[in-house]
Structure 1
Amino acid sequence: MAETSGIPGDVNRRTVVAGVGTAGLAAALTACGTNDKEQAPSQNTATPTQSGAPSKAAGTGGTVLGKTSDIPVGGGMVYAKAKVVVTQPTSGDFKGFSAICTHQGCTVNKVQDGEILCPCHKSKFKITDGGVAEGPATKPLPAAEVTVADGTIRLA
């Protein structure tokens, strides 16, 4: 005869399968989440905004990212909300790059020892040109045009 618990076997299995599927989805989404808070500037912190070429001393157009004094020489700063890294390889030479890793789309999270670092799979990029310093990424970070005027860095 049928089950006597009052809950048919199909409903019970469906409930369990749905619960397991929901838990798996929640775990996957949590693992893929990012923190949109901007990093505090430091000698070892990078920022995503790079043009690959020296920034232009231009007008007031574009999104304000921060002050030139926030970007250490030989370092950088990641602006997570703008998805840009700004570096200063040598004094007065500001570069902008995408903060999105070319390996699998994670957001890079810091600049350290002359490299832009991706926390997901440990790819490293050069602060001078966004080129790959260490894989698994095989493509450089795309340039992002930044301008510098009156001590302010803007994403063009």
Structure 2
Amino acid sequence: MAEATRRAVVLGAGGVSLGALLTACAGYGQPADTVAEPAAPASSAPESAQSKQDEKPAGEELASTAEIPEGGGKVFAEQKVVVTQPSAGEFKCFTAICTHQGCPVDSVEGGTINCPCHGSKYNIADGSVANGPATKGLAEKKITIDGEKISLA
């Protein structure tokens, strides 16, 4: 009887270890938008008040139009956006977080917004995927142009 109990304990411990391992690896290799986000730390502020603290204010000036090269763009890491000028006088803004694994994009060159992690590239005109491994384009963000001032809308 003692042998069966010992065997049951060993098998049970192995099952628990396997379950923990599978849970830890569940999101590996999946696109960033399909992996479950970790639970947010507890906060004394209500959720709506906390999320408002994290948001950038609407109307925040990003750059002057002269700072954004025609056929290129500029990454604003703090605001997590990238502003591009696909053609003269046309300005676009996209999220600066790669849709493949969630890395921040870091450059705009050769007509594409580029992610350094795995080589994904996005078109400066519409944020669509120009080169994988990303399969989903960058989300467009609203901006306003007031004279030569580019601001988040």
Tell me the TM-score normalised to structure 2 length: 0.62
CA-to-aligned-CA distance 1:101-130 (integer Å, 9 cap, x gap): 000110000000000000011100000000
The question of 1:66 aligning with 2:89 is answered no
Which structure is richer in relative contact order (CA contacts within 8 A, separation 6 or more)?
1
For 1:80, the equivalent position in structure 2 comes to 77
Relative to its length, the structure with more helix (as a share) is: 2
Q: How do residues 4-153 of structure 1 correspond to structure 2 at under 5 angstroms?
A: 62-153=59-150
For 1:37, the equivalent position in structure 2 comes to none
Residue identity opposite 1:78 in structure 2:
V
CA-to-aligned-CA distance 1:7-51 (integer Å, 9 cap, x gap): xxxxxxxxxxxxxxxxxxxxxxxxxxxxxxxxxxxxxxxxxxxxx
| Offset, 1:62 | 1.1
4+ aligned runs moved over 3 Å, structure 1: none
Taking only aligned residues, the RMSD between alpha carbons, in angstroms, comes to 0.7
Tell me the TM-score normalised to structure 1 length: 0.61
Residue identity opposite 1:140 in structure 2:
G
CA-to-aligned-CA distance 1:40-72 (integer Å, 9 cap, x gap): xxxxxxxxxxxxxxxxxxxxx611101100001
Partners of 1:153 and 1:101 lie apart in 2 by 23
Partners of 1:110 and 1:98 lie apart in 2 by 13
The percentage of aligned residue pairs carrying the same residue is: 56
| Offset, 1:145 | 0.5
Partners of 1:128 and 1:139 lie apart in 2 by 15
Partners of 2:137 and 2:123 lie apart in 1 by 9
| Offset, 1:151 | 0.2
